[in-house]
Structure 1
Amino acid sequence: MGGNQKIAFVASDAEVAQSALIAFQGRYPSVPLEEADVIVALGGDGFMLETLHGTEHLDKPVYGLNRGTVGFLMNEYGEDDLMFRLAAAEEEVINPLKMRAITKDEVEVERLAINEVSLLRQGPQAAKLRIYVDNKLRLRELSCDGALVATPAGSTAYNYSAHGPILPIGSDVLALTAVAAYRPRRWRGALLPKEATVRIEVISPEKRPVMADADGQSVRDVTSVEITSDSSVEHRLLFDPGHGLEERLIQEQFV
């Protein structure tokens, strides 16, 4: 990126992030979001996702500095040389998933997810799910705590915790991963083309209620969820040279 960029600073509500916000605004000129060339986000990965969702209509690159617990999408925190770091930063462009959920009241809800779309049991009983890929039935009944579809950028988050694979950035692949599968006991998920359409139907939704979640945006009592990649939306993330998503995804597999 070029120099002399106009910067908008945003920060999570955490005390350490708010302190950092004050420090940066005291050292560097800032402008409102709409006037900025670049957005600097101070917080953790959760706040980065919130920032990307909240500013997707602005088409501004976002450079994160870690002031949270998890910082996979963030750069190492430092208050010095910000303008130099922004000028040298490398851009990664990622597309989100689009979730289209239908509730038991026949309400349709759409959400975007940068990391993953997940279906999770709401009550004490296991969820029972039926899975279609491109309108073809692939799994007649999955008894589980849930299932999720993850992007490469989100594959090290909930997907990895559920023993799903880490996906290389740019691989044009999605991970379909079971959460605590009971039947089929050995089914660990599937790798799907990025262009695939995944539809998950809830079996016995009254007896076994299920919620759907897109990056923390929850919809309760769903009966079916359709998940597709949305190439019309681009999220632009900035990383210090040599510390982009591809390197982080590789490094994550050796810790």
Structure 2
Amino acid sequence: MSKDLKIAFLASRARMAQAALAELSAAYGQSTPQEADVIVALGGDGFMLSTLHETQPLDRPVYGMNRGTVGFLMNEYSADGLMARLTAAEEAQINPLRMKARRATGETIEALAINEVSLLRAGPQAAKLRIHVDGKLRMQELVCDGALLCTPAGSTAYNYSAHGPILPIGADVLAMTAVAAFRPRRWRGALLNKSSNVIFEVVDPDHRPVMADADSVSVNNVTHVEISSAQDVTHRILFDPGHGLEERLLREQFV
């Protein structure tokens, strides 16, 4: 990457992020995302995800600096030496998931998810889900609080909290994980090929309503959710050398 970079600084509304935006844009200048060579996102992981989604059509690499809480997708914040850090940064390329969620009304909502697509019960009763993989019925009935399908990049997020596996960033697999599975009791989930097409069918949606969520795009009263890897879409994320996604995923497993 060139040492003479045009940078677009984007920041969340948090006070720390706004202060960083003022400091960095004064020091390095400010370009629009359309003009920039690289986009620098200032905030937490949630802001990083929204930045990746919003700037995806521009095909610009995004370098995050943590001005939020978790910061798994972010680099450490420093106002010094940013040009050198951007020039030396390592790029990780990830494909999101594509969700097609059909409501009881027949309306279909599409969204992309960098981390995971999750289905969650939306009422007092547990959800009942039927699972198809590549056109074949794999589970007649999963009774649970929910279920999710995640990418390797998202495997340390909600998936890990639900006791799902951490996936190496280069692995061509997706993880399917149940949330509080009741039947089959304590079902451990499944690892699927990245090219798999998954359909969650909601059983008895009138009495057991379910919502679907793709990186905070929420769809209520779903009856049918189809998920596949959007291999035609690539997000480019920059990390400081030695602190990329592969290293972070390994580190999480040896804490």
TM-score (norm 1): 0.99
Q: Is the 8 A contact 2:180 2:186 kept in 1?
A: no
**Aligned equivalents of 1:79 and 1:8: distance in 2?**
15
1:27 maps to: 27
**Aligned equivalents of 1:186 and 1:128: distance in 2?**
15
* 2:177 is aligned with 1:169: no
**Aligned equivalents of 1:185 and 1:69: distance in 2?**
34
2:209 maps to: 209
Structure 2: 5+ residue stretches without partners: none
TM-score (norm 2): 0.99
| TM-superposed deviation, 1:186 | 2.7
Structure 1: 5+ residue stretches without partners: none
1:238 maps to: 238
One-letter amino acid of the structure 1 residue matched with residue 195 of structure 2: E
SS of residue matched to 2:59: coil
TM-align CA RMSD: 0.5
| TM-superposed deviation, 1:71 | 0.5
One-letter amino acid of the structure 2 residue matched with residue 143 of structure 1: V
1:95 maps to: 95
2:218 maps to: 218
| TM-superposed deviation, 1:94 | 0.3
**Aligned equivalents of 1:245 and 1:25: distance in 2?**
27
* Deviations 1:17-54, CA, capped at 9 Å, x for gaps: 00110110111111111100000000000000000000
**Aligned equivalents of 2:26 and 2:7: distance in 1?**
13
Among all aligned residue pairs of Structure 1 and Structure 2, give the percentage whose two residues are the same amino acid: 69
Q: Is the 8 A contact 2:144 2:180 kept in 1?
A: yes
One-letter amino acid of the structure 1 residue matched with residue 117 of structure 2: V
* 2:148 is aligned with 1:148: yes
SS of residue matched to 2:57: coil
SS of residue matched to 1:56: helix
2:72 maps to: 72
1:10-89 to structure 2, matched below 5 A, reads: 10-89=10-89
**Aligned equivalents of 2:240 and 2:217: distance in 1?**
29
One-letter amino acid of the structure 1 residue matched with residue 108 of structure 2: E
SS of residue matched to 1:123: coil
SS of residue matched to 2:75: coil
**Aligned equivalents of 2:187 and 2:252: distance in 1?**
24
1:200 maps to: 200
| TM-superposed deviation, 1:55 | 0.4
One-letter amino acid of the structure 2 residue matched with residue 105 of structure 1: T
* 2:158 is aligned with 1:158: yes
| TM-superposed deviation, 1:5 | 0.8
* Deviations 1:154-178, CA, capped at 9 Å, x for gaps: 0000000000000001111000000
